[in-house]
Amino acid sequence: MRARVKVKPVIGIVGMGYAGLPVACLFSKKYTVIGYDMNRTRINQLREGVDKGGDFDKKYLLRLQRHRLHPTSNREDLMQCNFYVVVVPTPVDENNQPDLTYVISASQTVGQVISKGDVVVYESTVYPGVTEDVCVPEIEKVSGLKFNRDFFVGFSPERIDPSNKQHTIFNTVKITSGSDDRTAHYIDSVYGSVLSAGTCLAASIKAAEAAKILENTQRDVNIALMNECSKIFSAMGIDTNKVIDAAATKWNFNAYRPGLVGGHCIGVDPYYLITKAQMLGVDSELISAARHVNDTLPEHIVNRLVQTMADENIPIKDASVLILGFTFKENCPDIRNTRVYDIYQRLSLHAGKIDVVDPIADPTQVYKEYGLKMTPMTTALKRTYDAVLLCVRHDVFSDFDIRSLIRERSVVYDIKSFLSDDLATLRM
Ligand SMILES: NC(=O)c1ccc[n+]([C@@H]2O[C@H](COP(=O)([O-])OP(=O)(O)OC[C@H]3O[C@@H](n4cnc5c(N)ncnc54)[C@H](O)[C@@H]3O)[C@@H](O)[C@H]2O)c1
């Protein structure tokens, strides 16, 4: 039996979250897509054309659903598919160890619906080896089918950047790979048929898995370098972002910016690589150090704010502080693993009153996940503060008159270099 290269692909997406939905939309350009998610609420929202990530508008989602896209929470609907794409979460646990339970359970789901000749492509970010060593045995066990005889697999890392309007799934080259030569070319051709930006066929599944983890680890390490330099420069009264602007005039300088590293990817994926390195007995000192630098940045930010307030004779215990932005990145409602919460928690040990304002985040979700009651923007606008901490660079904050919110003696800490020089007292 070989991969069904002659049969038109019917795509089954397993996991219709932030990353799965764009993949489903991409394939819907040409193929029938069954978009399966075990979360009924998510499926009901998608059926109504609502994307919680805000990347796709209602009209577009409803139009796709009149044609080829079929969101469902009924696993049996996947049985009509012959080309499965798994895009489920790959978080870490409380000890920063990879949590593979979602990819394992998604593989078991695929094992229940798969037929001879079918192909399964993983898009979840994992360390090299997970697809073949962890996921494939689950499919084999549940389906009774034999890998690379009855079914075939591939890995094609998801590279989307939610809320980024410039670089989308539709205009970004996609890495592909397959469990044998014929499958690799087949998978590459299926992705290539819907992607105008083209594909890059990797040397192997492990190389494709490693490429994704390298992309994100590179970002993490470079941001950590900027964060560390920022600590040194700010101790000297130098604005790091201005240093980077100057350095970036050299042709081989890469302009990474200092800042918080949260979310589901950059702050998580390097731990997958660190774990794999440990399994192999290989040292990953630099990657681990970068994680430490980025994970401890909230502490540094709070210490610096508290020290500056003390220097300015602003009594911190009676102070009222405004935190602007709660999501893990700009213009994106995703609050998973946001480091602003770490700032809030640490600052709570010092400051009398803290208001957190984020017009992009869902207040109900923030309360549910963090037990934090956000302050509505309209309420904050009627108050004044001893300190303002701008944590996330949402476009909407550019219309915010911060000057009218600060008391005569106050500190404005702009960690995203968003505010004008005369307004920002502190920067990274
Ligand atoms: N969000 C991003 O920006 C991004 C970018 C690139 C890569 N990725 C990677 O994509 C993967 C998915 O991340 P995400 O952000 O889309 O997560 P998400 O939480 O937004 O979505 C995952 C979805 O999968 C569903 N799900 C979980 N287990 C399932 C199962 N067994 N069967 C069916 N549905 C299941 C969940 O209900 C959820 O809706 C991760 O590996 C992540 O690292 C994410």
- For a pocket test of ligand 1, which of 264, 336, 369 has the largest count of ligand atoms closer than 8 A to its C-beta? 264
State the average pLDDT over residues 384-391.
97
Task: Note whether 11-212 and 296-427 share their fold.
Answer: yes
Comparing 4-8, 27-31, 345-349, which segment has the lowest mean pLDDT? 4-8
| Dihedral of alpha carbons 326, 332, 335, 339, sign | negative
Please report where in the chains the tokens 């500190």 appear, as a residue.
411
pLDDT for 2: 60
Specify the CATH number of the domain 296-427: 3.40.50.720
pLDDT higher than threshold 90 for residue 6: no
Exposure of 86 by Cβ count < 10 A (0-12 exposed, 13-18 middle, 19+ buried)? buried
List all residues 6 or more positions away from 345 whose beta carbon is below 8 Å from its beta carbon: none
**Dihedral angle over CA of 108, 183, 174, 62, nearest 10:** -60
Distance CA 192, CA 17 (A): 23
pLDDT of residue 395: 93
- What integer pLDDT is reported at residue 162 of this predicted model? 85
Q: At 163, is the pLDDT very low, low, confident or very high (cuts 50, 70, 90)?
A: confident
Superfamily of chain region 11-212? NAD(P)-binding Rossmann-like Domain (3.40.50.720)
Q: Give CA–CA dist 153/136, Å, rounded.
A: 8
Question: How far is ligand 1, taken at its centre, from the CA of residue 37, in Å?
Answer: 10
Task: For the beta carbon of residue 149, count every other beta carbon within 10 angstroms.
Answer: 10
Q: What is the pLDDT of residue 5?
A: 61
Domain ranges of the chain: 11-212, 296-427
Instruction: Choose the catalytic residue: 135, 265, 332, 391.
Output: 265
pLDDT tens by residue, 193-217: 999 999 999 999 999 999 999 999 9
The per-residue pLDDT for range 236-259, each reduced to its tens digit, is: 999 999 999 999 999 999 999 999
Mean pLDDT over residues 308-333, rounded?
A: 95
How far apart are the C-alpha atoms of 42 and 50, rounded to whole Å? Answer: 9
Q: Ligand 1 pocket: which residues have CB below 6 Å?
A: 14-20, 36-39, 42, 87-90, 102, 105-106, 109, 124-125, 158-160, 162, 264-265
Q: pTM (2 decimals)?
A: 0.95
Listed residue (338, 256, 351, 258) closest to 303, CA to CA? 351
Asked about 265 being catalytic, the answer comes back as yes
Give 368 Cα–ligand 1 centroid separation in angstroms: 19
Name the average pLDDT for the chain.
96
3 has a pLDDT exceeding 80: no
Tell the residue number behind the tokens 């083209």, with chain if given: 198
Q: Which amino acid is at 56?
A: F
**Distances in Å between the alpha carbon of 281 and those of 92, 278, 284?**
20, 5, 9
